[in-house]
A and B are shown apart, each in its own frame.
Chain A
Amino acid sequence: MHIAVHQATPGGLLPLLHAIQDDIGYIPEESYAYISKSLNLSVAEVHGVVSFYHHFRTQPPGKHILHICRAESCQAMGSEHLEIHAKSKLGVDYHETTRSGNITLEPIYCLGNCALSPAVMLDEKVYGRVNRTRLDELFAASEAAE
């Protein structure tokens, strides 16, 4: 369905990949063959693009995605402590999903909320001036939202 929409768009591969990931949360490798055929590309080219961009994933993520900003402004306000706290509390490293399948932890390099560092993004919502307590509240809220 997404393929038909973006097939004729100039430079349509990125919009197409976004549409697929917005819809099902990731880009299954099985889809490469269909995508490449309809956009007149090789499977290698599709793989090359998917793997180049940090935003695209080829495995389904957890129910929620937590991005912790690692950039300089947030570092100046102690984001490192948040990273350590999140990793130990969730029992995962970056790019991993908790055993319950609830949260995937990802690093991000700037959310544009630098005057209110440190910042995190849970799904599509940004939070500013985050400390460990606030992070725990976010974990609790995302558990409760199940």
Chain B
Amino acid sequence: MSIRVYVPRDSSALSMGADEVATRVIVEAARRAISVDVIRNGSRGMFWLEPMVEVATDKGRVAYGPVTPADVASLFDSDFLHGGQHPLLHGLTDEISWLKKQERLTFARVGMTDPVSLDDYVAHDGYRGLHRALSLAPAAIVQEVTESGLRGRGGAAFPTGIKWKTVFDCAADQKYIVCNADEGDSGTYSDRMIMEGDPFVLIEGMTIAGIAVGATRGYIYLRSEYPDALAILNEAIAKAYAQQYLGDNILGSGHCFHLEVRRAAGAYICGEETSLLESLEGKRGQVRFKPPLPAIEGLFGKPTVVNNVVSLATVPIILDKGAEFYKNFGMGRSRGTLPFQLAGNIKYGGLVEKAFGLTLRELLYDFGGGSASGRPIKAVQVGGPLGAYLPESQFDTPLDYEKFSELWAVLGHGGVVAFDDTVDMAKMARYAFEFCAIESCGKCTPCRIGSTRGVEVMEKIMSGKDCEKNITLVRDLSDTLLNGSLCALGGMTPYPVLSAINHFPEDFGLRRKGAMQEEQAELEKVDISY
């Protein structure tokens, strides 16, 4: 029997040469007349080890990484096909503590299976959630999701079950399920990992959502920056159709659900649900007024569930194991797990799925291993480009929606971007305005024009011109953006800007509060009695 060798096809692994490694393994095996079965799995999320090659042995799967094409011959020489010793060997994958310490629920299969094999999916507990859903009344499915405490993982953290209930209660001839896969936040890639590593879980989640609220058509709105995810999703959808997991009569139940992927076109704002709907309708992605809520008048004016990839991909496990099981993870009103994504200047970057409640410091140091550069971490931006910057003094905050709100920060989609002490926070504040100016849809004046004025004022501050006066101006402008924007782009750009000013005033040519007194005290300590 041929030996199974896993080489990821996740685009991060590909970015480090996984395709070349896979080819080398096949060529080298053929040259040595060894029979191997190369499986292109998703990534386990330990990106510093990518491309990470795994071999299925009697004891379990064994990991080698990061493997370059040049290492492949020496791996064969070391008998890696039977877990042989090699400098790149990390032992049994499941025993690697970085992975072992996690609580993988939504990501249970990512990196384990062949993403486009429906058989593999079913063999690893796939479609158990759908089978259970088919045995329940639609209202009971909605109830189960509500009780699980699942909140929108895209960033807004709105209770998923409540959203579903609203759509369920609307009588309409057509309803829609829309998956927001326009993952534009810097520092986030969990949606991409699901779509590339376990697309069937998303398809299953959307199918369950459709059956629950009575929607017969679904769209995955996928960002154009993810061509690999597009190919994998389309392949998986075609296979689901072929086996009656999608279509007019799902598994003979009489339920109907059709699904297709629509490509976005590089506009960050289309991650906002109402502009996403505009875009799906073939228009400019301009934000809509709310009300009406998309749940009541959404896509083409019909009741629509708009959920993030991770929210929908979490539904199958909730249906399979029950609301109670899922709810038992987490703290306070943040139930379940969140796939955190470690990014930026970090030594061990990757995907950490943990129950809510671990601290930012644990994430950055116990998992992340500190900065990649070896310098102290000065600031961390959590929750994407509209998230606040946190200083070292806030690293002990538990990762929980409410705890972060108390600090005037957000967890968002779970992206965590670390910066070492070489970062200039004034530059980052300027960038936040610049990004807002580039991506503004133009509907609200504070966002459309204020963002550009913000860049200009920040440039004055950076050249040392009237810092105090100009900071007052930035605060004033931020206040206008906060209160005068329809959506989060304008409304939250002040988060990175003001948090940078408040926590790192010295980067803005300001003295830290109390700095004068400290300097005075230092002076008094100096012995001048010689």
Contact = CB atoms under 8 A, between A and B. Distances in A.
A46 B224 CA distance: 19
* Chain A interface mostly: mixed
A76 B423 contact: yes
Given A10-B300, A121-B225, A76 B420 contact: yes
A116 B12 contact: yes
B511 interface: no
A119 interface: yes
A33 interface: no
Contacts of A121: 225
A71 B188 CA distance: 11
Interface string A94-136: 0000000000000011111111110101001111110000000
Contacts of A18: 224, 263, 265
15 contacts: A10-B300, A39-B282, A53-B267, A71-B187, A72-B186, A72-B381, A72-B417, A72-B428, A73-B417, A75-B431, A112-B11, A114-B343, A115-B12, A115-B342, A116-B12
Interface in B175-198: 183-189, 191-192
Contact of A110 (B186, B262, B419): B186
B177 to A, nearest CB: 15
B417 A53 contact: no
B381 A115 contact: no
B32 to A, nearest CB: 29
B349 A116 contact: yes
Given A115-B189, A116-B16, A116-B47, A73 B343 contact: yes
For the complex of A and B, list the 10 residue pairs with the smallest distance between their C-beta atoms, beginning with the closest: A115-B349, A71-B186, A114-B343, A13-B282, A53-B265, A55-B266, A76-B344, A128-B15, A115-B47, A54-B266
Given A72-B431, A77-B372, A49 B282 contact: yes
Contacts of B15: 113, 116, 119, 125-128
A56 B341 contact: no
B112 to A, nearest CB: 19
A114 B344 contact: yes
B14 interface: yes
Contacts of A53: 264-267, 285
B101 interface: no
Interface string B372-383: 100000000100
Nearest to A126: B15
Contacts of A49: 282-284
B12 A128 contact: yes
A15 B262 contact: yes
A17 interface: yes
Interface residues of A, number: 42
Interface in A47-77: 48-49, 52-56, 71-77
A48 B284 contact: yes
Given A72-B344, A72-B381, A113-B11, A14 B185 contact: no
Contacts of B268: 109
Interface of A: 10-15, 17-18, 39, 45, 48-49, 52-56, 71-77, 108-117, 119, 121, 124-129
B23 to A, nearest CB: 15
Interface in B104-160: none
A54 to B, nearest CB: 4
B129 to A, nearest CB: 26
A77 B345 contact: yes
B192 A124 contact: no
B282 A14 contact: yes
Q: Which of A15, A52, A72, A110 has the most CB of B within 10 A?
A: A72
B497 to A, nearest CB: 13
Contacts of A116: 12, 15-16, 47, 50, 349
B395 interface: no
Contact of B183 (A15, A17, A77, A112): A112
Nearest to B372: A77
B227 interface: yes
A13 B16 CA distance: 36
Contacts of A112: 11-12, 183, 188-189, 191-192, 225-226
Contacts of B94: none
Interface in B321-374: 341-346, 349-351, 372
B435 A109 contact: yes
A116 to B, nearest CB: 5
A18 B279 CA distance: 13
Interface string B1-30: 000000000011011100000000000000
A110 B184 contact: yes
Interface in B45-100: 47-48, 50
Contact of B281 (A11, A72, A115, A119): A11
